[in-house]
Amino acid sequence: MALMLEEIFNFWALFIYLVVLILLFYILLVDSKLLERKQKKLQYVKAGLFSVFAFSVVAKIISVYWLTKIFSSYYNILAYIVLAIGVLVLGFYNFLKNKTTSSKFLLITFLSLFGSDIFYVLYKYYTQNTLWLYLSCAVEIPCYYLLVRYFISRDNEKRLTIQ
């Protein structure tokens, strides 16, 4: 019973993490101003993001409940890698295009999250050395501060452009 509860907890934890990555990807799309050229493009991107989100939810449910555990774990890894690298690449693009303070904070946030995940993978799948786990936690802690700084500087930049 405890093992099943742990699997359910891991499922929802990964699901929430993927939803957060999708939301960050959407924020990056809006901030990069790729969508401002045509309003029709914005509607298509919103519909595309919604369909990707709906497909990922359905595929996640199917992979957890109907398919074998091995395929389900590959799906989880693939979904995370695609979203994380997509967010990281779009963060670099946003930083190189806009060169604002908010894009700098967001890029450093993504690099911090990516580094934290790398250290955790080293701990979990390679060496089981607790140093990697401590490094993972130490690298992840600043990302929350940087994310708050991103939202504050983004609001300030919007206020300055309105005035």
Per-residue pLDDT of the chain (163 residues), as tens digits, is 555 666 667 667 777 777 777 778 777 777 777 666 655 555 666 666 666 666 666 666 655 555 545 455 666 666 777 777 778 888 888 888 888 888 889 889 888 988 888 888 888 888 888 898 899 889 989 988 998 998 899 888 888 877 6
Considering the domain architecture, whether residues 150 and 81 belong to the same structural domain is answered as no
Considering the domain architecture, whether residues 85 and 143 belong to the same structural domain is answered as no
Q: Report pTM.
A: 0.68
* pLDDT attached to residue 149: 92
Taken in order 124, 127, 130, 134, is the CA torsion positive or negative?
A: negative
* pLDDT attached to residue 162: 76
Considering the domain architecture, whether residues 54 and 114 belong to the same structural domain is answered as no
Domain of residue 104 covers 100-163
In a domain, 90, yes or no: yes
* pLDDT attached to residue 18: 76
Considering the domain architecture, whether residues 25 and 84 belong to the same structural domain is answered as yes
Considering the domain architecture, whether residues 47 and 65 belong to the same structural domain is answered as yes
Where in 67-150 does DSSP place strands (E)?
none
Would you state the structure tokens that stand for residue 131, as one six-digit string?
């140093």
CA atoms within 13 A on the CB side of 112: 17
Rounded CA separation 2/24 (Å): 33
Rounded CA separation 13/130 (Å): 22
In a domain, 6, yes or no: no
Considering the domain architecture, whether residues 83 and 131 belong to the same structural domain is answered as no
In a domain, 8, yes or no: no
Taken in order 14, 27, 104, 102, is the CA torsion positive or negative?
A: negative
**Single residue among 94, 116, 148 that ends a domain in this structure:** 94
90 neighbors 113 (Cβ within 8 angstroms) = no
Considering the domain architecture, whether residues 20 and 85 belong to the same structural domain is answered as yes
